[in-house]
Chains A and B, each alone.
Chain A
């Protein structure tokens, strides 16, 4: 809902600066800090947090739905420009897209290799090149690191590493393996708070193999023109977040479950000097739990309600068409069936180039998912009408529309309603993914809960969402008594 309002407002005159962040803790914290830095200069700003992955936020920026977000130079050159633009040439490459490389924030968050401090100390390993004389060490890398262009293969080549015991695994499991002693060396992100918490030694990249992942702000080139003073406000962040500060903030959020808004407000207050007043409005942004749940319920029901309504309006006629013309029918069923096989996350992200971020792509994706059950059940309900009833309708010579509305659709009503119910329950579940594209709803706390490993927050989204699914199901059962004609609900029994 908020995002929808935002999209509508974006056409109006005094718009706030739209700051975005990706769905991981560091990005959200920096997003909060950026928002706060703008507000301290009296510039109205909004934070669209947890917007999925790099692609989602990047596309939103290019399309002008977002004004600024924190990014890493390595990601820009390696991932976004696919290695075709060197880190030094990012400025012109961004300018060509109507964007601008903003201030560098003062820390790097690159790939690194880490070991348990005690093991590293015992073996005397300080630099990555020290690993060459320890071929017996067991290496565990995140799956992404195993595959990346600058990942394990390149690293092995650059340093001439002899290790053969190398396995790919989940990043979180890698930390666990390290803790249990099953692994000796893992890859890590240099600002991971676990480095401190688990007492890890980060090995020096003495041959400078890993590209630079310097944290920067990327913004739209026309921002200053639209919001005078915004560029200068962002500039106040230049080199103000050093690596220890970032690591400490990550630790606050990830290990001690302090909300990112609070972490950011604290940083703004203590590190960014005079602006004691800024902390207050930031703190005030934390509403009570009941209020949060109600707001998300509203967002969630908006997503489900609008998309289900659209599905119904489109799917029932498609189902009728499919039942009337067998050829067309098979094609229609095949197409909506294929749509259903697209993973929901992929479908959501596919919608972004067409519809931007926020409520609209989520509604569009949910609408497409809602089609199949309704089309299929409408088709099945109509095709399944008993032959003698079909013949009766033919023989009576009912006008076609009257026949459809007064005979065929009522007879198919139980099946159609079952399809709508299936769509609704699917929509309630799938809508939780909408948070990844900024659509809000119960997915928001789930997303944040997963990211922070905060079970309480996760349940704050998951439980109401599950309850809503059950509620929707019950509501449809009640609706059935009202929609399905009584004559169809009688149990057929042979009279004596």
Chain B
């Protein structure tokens, strides 16, 4: 399975090439999200420890790590769904807090592994829900819906269906449309492809990458899958037990692992394409 997904990667090294150079230079003023010394515990056990990170504009940052490494918690801290115990988070210079609430979250798109689509609304109504709540003009909504549907390759008939009538891949694409609908400053995705079969997953990885590049979207994507990180991530932030162990392109991580744990973790991917 892993070989099947990795094979296209081997054949298109150009796709991965830019991420190698962008990684280190991303800490400039053009960071969409900035995290400073962010800590968050659950019932006394720390999930994220004194973590600092900058998310560069129009790039895809992958939060990579094992289960329980704190990457999903970090994503929810960025979204303002969780409040940090200490530290600060800024979205384009504005502090993100749970209190700054809905208004700020409307500028971030969010996607879940399940898709998180509301079953009582059609696919199209799921996508346009927030636009309708904010009373965006109808023709603007229709135009944006058509534009996004074209990008993720969903036809109008599919958009008229109910979430429970859609395949897992279709649901993820609708979920992505919903996240992108209002041209958010950043899109936060939690294991968006985690529940899909390997074939669909491979297809969607490339489709997602195409969409992000076409729209110039700033993305933070959580995954535990090295191949996914390799395909989608301009930068990879490798997490372990609530801390950032190393940030860079996957190639850099492979070439210059910061410690033996990174070396072991990345080895499983390095072994892949070498086969």
Contacts and interface: CB of A to CB of B under 8 A. Distances in A.
Interface of A: 388-389, 391-400, 402-403, 406-407, 410-411, 413, 485-488, 490-493, 495
A492 B118 contact: no
B79 A395 contact: yes
B212 interface: no
Given A388-B112, A487-B163, A398 B102 contact: yes
B68 interface: no
Nearest to A496: B167
A487 B81 contact: no
A481 to B, nearest CB: 14
B119 A406 contact: no
A300 B260 CA distance: 79
Contacts of A399: 102, 133-134
Contacts of B162: 486-487, 490
B120 A391 contact: no
Contacts of A391: 81, 110, 112, 116
B118 A411 contact: yes
B120 A490 contact: no
B51 interface: no
B118 A397 contact: no
A396 B120 contact: no
Nearest to B114: A388
A388 to B, nearest CB: 5
Interface in B110-127: 110, 112-114, 116-122
A394 B108 CA distance: 11
27 contacts: A388-B113, A389-B119, A391-B110, A391-B116, A392-B118, A393-B118, A394-B81, A395-B79, A395-B81, A395-B188, A396-B110, A397-B101, A397-B102, A397-B106, A398-B133, A399-B133, A399-B134, A400-B102, A403-B133, A407-B120, A407-B129, A485-B120, A485-B121, A486-B162, A488-B120, A490-B119, A491-B164
Given A486-B162, A487-B164, A392 B106 contact: no
Contact of B108 (A389, A395, A406, A492): A395
B130 interface: yes
B129 A487 contact: no
A395 B133 contact: no
Contacts of A490: 119, 162, 164-165
B104 interface: yes
A487 B105 contact: no
Contact of B105 (A388, A395, A488, A495): A395
Contacts of B108: 395
B103 interface: yes
A492 B178 CA distance: 21
B258 interface: no
Interface string B133-166: 1100000000000000000000000000011111
Nearest to B104: A397
Contacts of B178: 396
B122 A487 contact: yes
B101 to A, nearest CB: 7
Contacts of A413: 120
3 nearest CB pairs, A to B: A392-B116, A395-B110, A397-B105
Nearest to B117: A392
A391 B175 CA distance: 13
Nearest to A399: B133
B133 A402 contact: yes
Given A389-B116, A406-B129, A413-B120, 4 more contacts: A396-B106, A396-B178, A403-B133, A495-B166
Nearest to B122: A487
A422 to B, nearest CB: 22
